[in-house]
A = this chain, B = another copy of it.
Amino acid sequence: MRIAVLGTGVVGRTLATKLVQVGHDVVMGSRDAANEAAAEWATSVGNGGRAGTFAEAARHGELIVNATAGEASLAALALAGAEHLEGKVLMDVANPLDFSKGMPPSLTVSNTDSLAEQIQRAYPAARVVKALNTVNASVMVDPGGLSAPTNLFVAGDEAAAKAEVVAVLGSLGWAPERVLDVGDVTAARGLEAWLLLWVRMMQALGTPTFNVAIVTG
């Protein structure tokens, strides 16, 4: 599948590398086509991965991954171009973290709104699905590296778009039955607010390499 990964940080590079490894055709997008991190990444993965602008990446992708920093996401998507997002699944992995007062971060949007909803409102023809934002990059691409099976979540307005994301998550190693559909895009409020607890858990556990497993009766 042709996939755009917007963002050249740890999350973007980790996801893009794994997506290439499992056979996807990935363009990593950044603000500047000469972005060093993206160029280094493209060299490291050889065929199957290229670097480009946000617009070049989005034009390429049948599916778009927003792996930019939450506070930069709307600007990045504007550069990607509405015409390159139209009708496409936009997997939003970003978290609207506000580090302006240091650790632990707060959220720039929360409770009655979310970054995923802001994106969906700004690009109504995109098919936004919140996913993967609840775990560290290393866990995103290696769920089997944890000591027991854990869970992911998807939230979005369109069932078919969520099914596409579940398939992509499958290629990352997440069994479909471990992905819980928590509802429409407004459920992203809960998935993003989870970061407020996730950061405290990371501090208490002393590692970002963890996740949760849902246990029922």
Residue-wise interface mask of A (177-216) relative to B, using a CB-CB cutoff of 8 A (1 in contact, 0 not): 0001111001101110110111111011101011111111
For the complex, is A14 an interface residue (Cβ under 8 Å from B)? no
Contact check, B209 vs A216: say whether CB atoms are below 8 A apart.
yes
Choose among B182, B200, B204 the residue that contacts A204 (Cβ–Cβ < 8 A).
B182
Choose among B194, B209, B212, B216 the residue that contacts A146 (Cβ–Cβ < 8 A).
B216
For the complex, is A46 an interface residue (Cβ under 8 Å from B)? no
Task: Say how many copies of this protein the assembly contains.
Answer: 2
Q: How many residues on the A side are at the interface (Cβ–Cβ under 8 A)?
A: 44
Name the segment of A5-13, A47-55, A60-68, A147-155 touching the other chain: A147-155
For the complex, is A112 an interface residue (Cβ under 8 Å from B)? yes
Contact check, A217 vs B106: say whether CB atoms are below 8 A apart.
no
Most chain B CB within a 10 A radius of its CB, from A193, A210, A213: A193
Contact check, A197 vs B191: say whether CB atoms are below 8 A apart.
yes
Given the known A-B contacts A106-B112, A107-B111, A111-B111, are A210 and B201 also in contact in the complex, defined by CB atoms under 8 Å? no
Residues of B within 8 A of A110 (CB): 110-111, 193
Contact check, B183 vs A217: say whether CB atoms are below 8 A apart.
no
- Which 6 pairs across A and B sit closest by C-beta, in order of nearness? A190-B197, A190-B196, A212-B212, A193-B193, A182-B200, A187-B200
Q: A189-B196, A190-B198 are in contact. List 11 more A-B contacts (CB 8 A).
A: A110-B110, A110-B111, A145-B217, A147-B216, A149-B215, A181-B204, A183-B204, A190-B196, A194-B197, A201-B214, A213-B213
